[in-house]
Every structure is written in structure tokens, then in C-alpha cells.
Amino acid sequence: MHRFRFALAALALALTLAPAAAQARPRAAKRVVATKASDCSGTNLLPSPDNLDAIRSATLCLINVERTQRGRLPLRTNVDLTQVAGLYSRAMIDYSFFGHLSPAGSTFISRIKRTDYLTRTNGWAVGENLAWGEVELGSPAKTVEAWMLSPEHKRNILDTNYVEIGIGVAYGTPGDRNQQGATYATEFGTRSLIVSA
């Protein structure tokens, strides 16, 4: 029997998003976004140390399909959120734990604050989804499916406030770094950037 777990979604809003005149929202580059899951490649990949980039890409594709099918804009990847997600997914395996609060006491908000993501902002919102699964339950398709069946995780995925995402996928599961499976951390965010005069 293969195991699958996911942590309850966490959401944090900080400050009030600034009035429209004071905001400068980064613009997404025009790109083709899949409109159905069958347009995404690699969705049923079984995790291995060599295919984690493909698993991350498939996960993003599936999340954006869920959003666009419901009239939401697709999320774009952010390097700071990706760094946080990647380090945290690996840490959960290396230190044998699973949850939004690390054994050292860090939260997803404190981890994001250590990057430049919130620099020069006057308002922001962030959220985090976590999951791990063994063998086929660690595939992007099964992970996104499980998140969509959970109201809290689904809320993060479909939240219209979020415009950026970072996805971290590490090979192994908490407590067994050699188990064929994957551990996921997904960081969602939006921010109001301060406009220089």
C-alpha cells in the first residue's frame, strides 16, 4: 500500500494592499497556457532523482489548468518563491518532518521574508500547500488531484489574489529519503510593489 499525505493549506494576508494608484503589479509575459490536463506533459511521472524538473513543470501546468478552467489567470513562476519551496521540500526529507512549521520554528512567512520577495512592498499575501506521496501517489496528477479535493488547498490554488508561485519537489518522503516518492512545497504570492518617483 502506498501512502499519501498533505498538510492543511495555510494562508496569510499582511497589510492592506495599496490603492491602485500606488501599486505596480508585475506584468506576466504572454505565453501559451494549457487549457486541459491532457495538454500537460509528464503528469503521471513516477518520481525519480532525474525527473524533478519535469515534475515541477507538470505540477505548474496542472495548477494553471485548474485556474484557467475556472476563469482565473494562470500563475507565473517567481524565483524567490521557487527557492523557498525547493529548500523546504528538501528540508522535510532531510530532517524527517512534515508540516508548515519546521522543527527549528520557521513558518512559510518567515522563510519567504528571508528572500527579496517582500522587499519594497507595501502589501502582500502568501500561502503554502504541502504534500508527499509514494510511487504513483507522488506524481503531479495525484498530488494536484489531492489538493483539489481538499477545500483549504483548493482555495490556495484558485485564489484570485495570487499571481505568482514557487514549486519545490524533492525526491523521497519525510522519514525515508530513499523511498520512491516526492515531497512537494508550493508557495503562492502576490505583492504591491512600491513605485519609485
CA 110, 147, 170, 117 dihedral sign is negative
Q: Flag whether pLDDT at 19 surpasses 50.
A: no
pLDDT confidence tier of residue 27, bands split at 50, 70 and 90: very low
pLDDT confidence tier of residue 35, bands split at 50, 70 and 90: confident
Q: Flag whether pLDDT at 49 surpasses 70.
A: yes
Q: What's the whole-model pTM score?
A: 0.83
pLDDT confidence tier of residue 137, bands split at 50, 70 and 90: very high
pLDDT confidence tier of residue 32, bands split at 50, 70 and 90: low
Angle, vertex CA 129, rays to CA 128 and CA 133, nearest 5: 150
Task: Return contacts of 25-33, CB within 8 angstroms, 24+ apart.
Answer: 25/163, 25/192, 25/193, 26/163, 26/164, 26/193, 28/73, 28/74, 28/76, 28/163, 29/76, 33/64, 33/65, 33/68, 33/74
pLDDT of residue 193: 83
Helix, strand, coil in percent for the chain, rounding step 5: 35, 25, 40
pLDDT of residue 17: 32
Q: Flag whether pLDDT at 33 surpasses 80.
A: no
The arithmetic mean of pLDDT across residues 129-147, rounded, is 96
pLDDT of residue 20: 31
pLDDT of residue 7: 52
DSSP notation for 153-178: HHHHHH-TT--EEEEEEEESBTTBTT
The arithmetic mean of pLDDT across residues 124-129, rounded, is 96
Beta carbons within 10 angstroms of residue 116's beta carbon? 11
pLDDT of residue 36: 82
Percentage of the chain modeled with pLDDT above 90: 74
- The mean predicted confidence, pLDDT, of the chain is 86
> Strands (DSSP E) along 34-180, which ranges?
76-77, 121-134, 164-171
Q: What is the pLDDT of residues 142-197, one digit of tens each?
A: 999 999 999 999 999 999 999 999 999 999 999 888 889 999 999 999 999 877 65
